[in-house]
Structure 1
Amino acid sequence: MIINDSVLGDLLQGLPDLRPQMYFKSSLTALSHAMEDQVLASSDAPLVIASFQQERFYRQEAHRYQRIAQKSEQIYVLAAPETSFSSGYDRYEMVAFDPEDSLSQEWHLVVIGQQYASCLVCQECSVATLSESEENLLDIDTSRRFEGIWTFDRQVAKKAAELLLKRILAYRPQLKSKIKQAQKQFLQVKEAKPKINEAAECPIPNPDPFVQRLVTYLQAGQYKLLKAYKSISEQERKERLVNSITAAIRQSLNTHEILSKAAEELGQAMQVCRCLIYRCKQTDKCATNHHEFLSHGVSSLARENWPLQDNPLFQEVVTKQERVYVANTQIDVRVQNSLVLQNLVQRFGIISWLLVPVLDKGRLLGMLELHHCGVVPHEWEEEALELTEAIASQLGVALIQAEAYTNLEDLNEQLEALERTRSNLIAITGHELRTPLSTIQVCLESLASEPDMPPDLQQIMLSSALSDAERMRKLIQDFLTLSQLESGRVEWHPEALQVQECVDLALSSTRVRSTKEELPQITTKVSAELPLVQADGEWLVEVLNKLLDNACKFTSPQGEVTIQAKTNGNQMLEVTVADTGRGIEPNRLERVFDRFYQEEGALRRTTGGTGLGLAICRQIVTAWGGQIWAESAGKDRGTQFHFTVPIAESN
């Protein structure tokens, strides 16, 4: 049997003058105990009807009702069974009602004696009627609230008893005669005259006003306690949120991951329409959004250029180094006086706007923005603003740690590169210096120890010594040249030049070698109609020399080397030195410009050289503002080296 009628509802309908009040659970507990104590202290044999919501609530008071049952035979206890509670008689009548019955949401205690009467009829407030913050506190039993009636009025008590006796009869019809006796004895009797104080010969004062004041005081104390619980809960929620976001952003030392996680966590926690976090400095003109949280239906700002220099809100944050909050962009003076802000508000539907700086020792690292979009402004409470500032502070720490880690990684890479350079320097220097020096030593020792050596053999010895001495000179010269370029000690003398003249000078120097060794065919395709370039002629010839030397070195005599030049846009002239030689693997095209890099390794090369030529070329080309790069289809498929030179301004 399920009865959906509410006892409280029926009571208020039957007595329309009654006005329900709100009670805390602890207040009702105190009132119930006072009513029960009154029964235990009196000499009456009253009617007592107690309806508990669940069996577990009844179990907490069962011992009291065993004592109350000694005072009267008209004791009725109702509860929804959970374990062993069932309808029956155990010193008092027990009524088990269906858990789906409306009684499971109500709390009743009615006491009617000959000299007194009291009534408590309440219904528990559902979760839907509580605020969100109160709903979060439902695990605290003292925060439960009930709406209902508590009074000493006998007429109200009799009406409530009548309704409850009918409910009991519906569940236990076998109690019909006992209930009929209770109705006759307590509900139909004439009102008893109030007791007279024999000493003063006056009626005993009605305790109702005093008790009502006591209840009011208890309610006020309970309300203060609930506020304290709410404050503690809010503080705990704030700390838990800060800790969770901190843990999330510190799981990574990658700046992109840190900002993405922070935007997602904070946006969900604050339930905002849009949360942006972007890196910026005080002097930036604009920022690009890469990290955001969006609620459903809100437009994205990803990769949108966000104005900073012309943004009054951003500039205010930079000046004050503290948060800036716009409650309503439609009436805020700063927004109304700025076309930039008006445009942003209109395009992205921002109605409430919060900006919080991410700082480190006064240095701006980034900005955290919360947007509420729509028609109705959203007012963030002070706790929410403080929470956002706490997250921004943690974010600043995480960014500094990530930057420190990145700098450490860069430093480690530089140290590794330095170690490789040191190793290559030792290997190459040892090989390139020791080999010619050994040849020179052998030749000189032979000339000194054998004066009768034939003249033609003496000439061969001298030529070999001179050749290796020149090789050593070039090696040392390359070391010195690269050192000067890297240290910035070179004095540049730029002038307007014809590329064709520089190519001819480089070719004449290269062809001198053809008398000593066989070179591949060299073809030039440089037009005399090309515009003049602005460069230091000596260093431009040096770049061409080294590229030609490199091309000839790795190309067989049957191959071909080609020099071309063309305009590359309006500001640069592009020169290409291509060969049909051994080629370069695509994954090594960038490394060939590193110092001491050798395609075959330092100690197993088939060609001479220090591996400094291309590094020198890169330093020279970069110095005049150009670029140098290599292209190759792969092994044995030739290589093309390109570099650019600024075109001279025409008068």
Structure 2
Amino acid sequence: QLTVPEVSVDSAADCQPAVRERVVLPEEPGSNEAPPNIWRTVDGRLLVQVVEPVVHEGHTIGIVQLTREASGVDRTLFEVRASIFGLTLIALALTVLLSWYLSLTIARPILSLARAARVMRDNAGRTFSVPTRLRARRDEIGLLASTLDESAQALWTRMDAIERFAADVAHEIKNPLSSIRSAIETALRIGDVEQQKRLLTIIGHDVRRLDRLITDISDASRVDAELSRTRPERVAVAPILSVMAEMNEATREADGPLLVVEAESDTRPGREGQPLAVWAVEDRLVQVLRNLIGNAESFSPPAGRIWLRVAEAGRGFVSIAIEDEGPGIPPAKLESIFDRFYTERPAAERFGQHSGLGLSISRQIVTNLRGNLAAQNRTDASGAILGAKFVVTLPRAF
């Protein structure tokens, strides 16, 4: 028989050290074991106490109480706290380094771009541009810097074009005004009625020329703004050319040029036989075609032919060609004919009938429609010039 000496509760409590704080752990559900007791003594030691009953033949005959100092737990807690503190310092250092790196790679370059834009805005002229080191970067900052520099260059180019346009306009308007002034001064000095009538005829002619010139200048100045606000739409080309040919046939004189339409059809599956279409603003496209056809008519021989051809141009484009049987274009002037106020006309045509802006406006419209307008000569096998050919290339509408 096992005999266990009895220990009174009071004497057991007397053996416990002075307690500063106690941690009471909850009992686990379904467990018969009592949770351990954890104390922190006044002198800072951590104690863990486990109490278990002593059972013999179904009767509790005593208890076993084990108390142990848990200094290892303190060391572990200290190590964990030190690790957390160290990780916090490392994270803080990384945050500072990352902020410094972002400041060098993003914030400062953006500030440099802002300073460059501010300097260009404050009339620094073309002596200043975006720093090369920023444009040379191969990241988003470099792309932004290059875009800003290209925008500035485009703006300066547009300003140059406006200055040239203003100078050209002033020159073209000055000529008829000088003629009108001279005619008026002469008419005031002479008494011959017939000469005065001739001078008045000259004045009327110059006034009409001024009116035509101002109308074309106004149209040229509106093209960019109008097309920037207008969304291109799907426009079938062949029906427009057919209507123009019918109108020409109804109004042309006996020896006037004949318009011949030759239009290919769409060959894509599901659109077989339909007319080819382009992305354009219909009113402006009609204006371009009228300018080119009118130009061809003025250079065509009596009873000549003008071909209006529509065909696929490949790579998603459609070409519209206007060909005549005139004298053609001097090779050295295939580009200069698109300059503003270029007015080389047939010898039989009276001076001042055209402002010289028609082809320039036509190219301006086609360029805004993401197309191209080019001039070339029709030639035979031997290279002899058979006439002029203007080709309008526009994006194909799908």
Normalising by structure 1, we get a TM-score of: 0.30
